Amino acid sequence: MRNLSVVTEFILLGIPHTEGLETMLLVLFLSFYIFTLLGNLLILLAIISSARLHTPMYFFLCKLSIFDIFFPSVSSPKMLFYLSGNSRVISYAGCVSQLFFYHFLGCTECFLYTVMAYDRFVAICYPLRYTIIVSHRVCAILAMGTSFFGCIQATFLTTLTFQLPYCGPNEVDYYFCDIPVMLKLACADTSALEMVGFISVGLMPLSCFLLILSSYSCIVYSILQIRSAEGRRRAFSTCSAHLTAILLFYMPVVLIYLRPTPSPWLDATVQILNNLVTPMLNPLIYSLRNKEVKSSLRTVLHQLGFLPEQLWREISS
């Protein structure tokens, strides 16, 4: 009988097939991470500092920016730490925490995108009743609900993964602890759990996506009823940023968790897009096509001293 010891720590092997590229990856990912933090902090400051942006749409955008700060912070600091030549070891508790917070923040964002689609649906399809339907109380309930259900989903997936015995190999062939790679290390049959996890991880985003699709089908129908070309243009412009962000969020989820045959290198590449690039692009997506956000951002940059007085006056005039 084999003498199997309980695993107390794991070794993160990093992104597959990138040996010798550590310095280049460190500079690249550190740049992404810094721009992600700065961009989302600026969006937060722009929304908080402008009374005009204290509306439900920007309230949800504010929460999205907060989660876009924390989401890459689950895996990036440890990845940057070992890319700089430090230890690749992560404790068992650290691995559990990584997996829980990754799925908690990811699931919450998934629910949040659904709520944001509902907000746009009410704003465009029922504009006269918008302030009554999407009141401050409703906004608070929806915001808390996204986090609550995100926490339930993450708790279920984390419990499902770590109730298995880990008593053999401890080398994680990835750059952070995620469900597919952790199940490979369990010293028990994981076929049933893989199926349950696949259904759970796939069903939740699919349900949210169908709700978003339903909202936008109604939105498109309502926009097409607008007689004014300018009115149609403004309505499409309002929704285009949200649609772009949804596509950037959902495509990696489908490629990583819903493919029958996983590919470690492709999964890592797509997941880095999901973890670092999408949160970095969201501030650009939501600000470039929004005059109110751009105006507030210019004011914030001027107050912080990044925008000279003369240039600020020329832009503002």
Residue 64 has pLDDT above 60, yes or no: yes
Q: 176 with 105: CB under 8 angstroms?
A: no
Q: Which of 24-33, 58-67, 137-146, 224-233 has the lowest mean pLDDT?
A: 224-233
Model pTM? 0.87
Radius of gyration of the chain (CA): 22
* Residue 37 within any structural domain of the chain: yes
Supply the pLDDT for residue 317: 47
> 229-257 vs 264-272: helix axis angle to the nearest 10?
150
Q: How confident is the model at residue 186 (pLDDT cuts 50, 70, 90)?
A: confident
Cα 207 to its chain centre, rounded Å, is 17
Q: Is 1 within a domain?
A: no
Predicted pLDDT at 260: 61
What tens digit of pLDDT does each residue of 145-181 get? 999 999 999 999 899 899 888 887 888 888 899 888 8
Of 108-117, 149-158, 308-317, which range is least confident?
308-317
Phi, psi at residue 55, to the nearest 5°? -125, 165
Mean pLDDT of 273-294: 80
Is residue 38 within 8 A of residue 198, CB to CB? The reply is no
For residue 23, pLDDT beyond 50? yes
Q: Which of 55, 41, 68 is nearest to 304 (CA)?
A: 41
**Facing residues of 9 across strands?**
91
CA distance 241 to 59: 16
Q: Are 307 and 316 in contact (CB under 8 A)?
A: no
Q: How many domains does the chain have?
A: 1
DSSP 11: E
- Per-residue pLDDT, averaged over 223-231, amounts to 77
Computed from CA positions of residues 97, 193, 180, 13, in that sequence, does the dihedral angle turn out positive or negative?
Answer: positive
Q: What percent of the chain has pLDDT over 90?
A: 35
- Containing structural domain, residue 245: 9-314
pLDDT at 308: 57
pLDDT > 90? residue 287: no
Domain assignment present for 101: yes
What pLDDT is stored for residue 2 in this prediction? 47
Per-residue pLDDT tens digits for 294-308? 777 777 776 766 555
Instruction: Assign 203 a pLDDT band (cuts: 50, 70, 90).
Output: confident
pLDDT(77) > 90 = yes
pLDDT of residue 18: 81
Output the pLDDT for position 232: 75
For the chain, give the mean pLDDT.
83
| Beta bridge partners of residue 81, listed in sequence order | none
Taking 60 as the threshold, does the pLDDT of residue 312 lie above it? no
Alpha-carbon distances of 122 from 13, 127, 166, 257, rounded to whole Å: 47, 7, 49, 32
The encoded tokens of residue 49 equal: 């500092």
Residue 114 domain-assigned? yes
Where residue 90 sits, what CATH number does that domain have? 1.20.1070.10
Residue 218 included in any domain: yes
The Cα 279–Cα 258 span in angstroms is 22
Look up residue 237 and give its two tokens.
Answer: 């412009």
Cβ 172 vs Cβ 12: under 8 Å: yes
E strands, the chain, are: 9-12, 89-91, 171-172
pLDDT (tens digit per residue) in 80-110: 999 998 889 999 999 999 999 999 999 999 9
The reply to whether 203 falls in a domain is: yes
| Assigned domain for 4 exists | no
Q: Which tens digit of pLDDT belongs to each residue from 129-145? A: 999 999 999 999 999 99
